Amino acid sequence: MHTRAEQLAAFDRLLTIMDELRERCPWDHKQTFDSLRENTIEETFELATAISKHDMQEISKELGDVLLHVVFYAKMGSETNDFDMADVCNRICDKLIFRHPHVYGEQAAANAEEVSKLWEQVKLKEKGGNKTVLGGIPDALPSLVKAYRIQDKVANVGFDWEKREDVWAKVHEELDELQAELAKEDGGQKEQEFGDLLFAMINAARLYKIRPDNALEQTNLKFMRRFNYVEAKAKEQGKELKDMSLDEMEALWQEAKAHEGAA
């Protein structure tokens, strides 16, 4: 691993390159906050994908791409005298110190759960910070992640189930309501009821310390892996999936599961 001096030197190198690109590259020179926004979102999702795959080399690469965007925005901010990289670093340092009174102050927190509760309480007192418990949740967050964050935030101020097992009654209640709505002629509230069921399931995941977005992504990757196996095996047999029966595809699906050694 690199020394602190080497890490600082590498960061200074990136800042220097950003200065040069902004001055000498036509593409970099014409970029704005708005033009970079979609690219930043894409890079963030690419990092999230690498993390879900636990690919350390890819994580390192994607972190670099995200860091480039941070440096890029700071450079543009300095050009209009609004802020620069020092402001970005100092603001997050000040925030971290303020939000960790159990480290830099006199309050105590014995475990991660107590830290989370303290974190939400401190944020409500923070100058320029969130004025409500649910303030600060980005509108653009994916709905699955947003639901988890909503439930996590309200739980940290005491709005939660007394026992985590109690959540299952709510899950079954929402499932019953959804099935009842689907049985109707029009089923006009089916989307709302389905959302209620998802919200309850996400709450259950939180209580059992499962990240629902991670869990779903693992299932997505598993399904894709198995379906790709089915498709490849079908081609080996000279068949197209659209021409195969469901039983034939199911047989290959079971073979894919056995090949993985999974149930």
Residue with tokens 């998802």: 198
Residues 153-170, mean pLDDT to the nearest whole number: 92
Q: What is the mean pLDDT of the chain?
A: 90
Summarize pLDDT for 34-87 with one digit per residue, the tens.
999 999 989 998 998 898 888 999 999 999 999 999 999 999 999 999 999 999
Burial of 224 (0-12, 13-18, 19+ CB in 10 A): exposed
| Rounded CA separation 244/230 (Å) | 11
| Rounded CA separation 43/67 (Å) | 10
Q: Is the pLDDT of residue 129 over 90?
A: no
Residue with tokens 């350390």: 56
Q: Is the pLDDT of residue 118 over 80?
A: no
For 116-145, letters b (16+ CB in 10 Å) and e give eebbbebbeeeeeeeeebeeeeeeeeeebb
pLDDT at 20: 97
pLDDT at 245: 93
What 3-state DSSP class applies to 55?
Answer: coil
| Rounded CA separation 41/31 (Å) | 15
Q: How far is CA 100 from the centre of its chain?
A: 23
Structure-block tokens of residue 184: 């109707």
pLDDT at 160: 93
Structure-block tokens of residue 203: 């709450």
pLDDT at 263: 47
Amino acid present at 63? L
Architecture of domain 136-210: Orthogonal Bundle (1.10)
Report residue 92's pLDDT band, with 50, 70 and 90 as the boundaries: very high
Q: Is the pLDDT of residue 262 over 60?
A: no
4-97: which CATH topology? Answer: Helix Hairpins (1.10.287)
pLDDT at 127: 61
For 175-190, letters b (16+ CB in 10 Å) and e give bebbeebeeeeeeebb
Q: Give yes or no for a contact between 31 and 72, defined as CB atoms under 8 angstroms apart.
A: yes
207 vs 103, residue with greater confidence = 207
pTM to 2 decimal places: 0.63
Name the least confident of 56-60, 131-135, 244-248: 131-135
Q: How far is CA 260 from the centre of its chain?
A: 27
Structure-block tokens of residue 86: 């020092």
Q: Give yes or no for a contact between 74 and 68, defined as CB atoms under 8 angstroms apart.
A: no
Structure-block tokens of residue 156: 């940290």
Report residue 128's pLDDT band, with 50, 70 and 90 as the boundaries: low
Least Cα distance to 239 among 230, 250, 227, 251 occurs for: 230
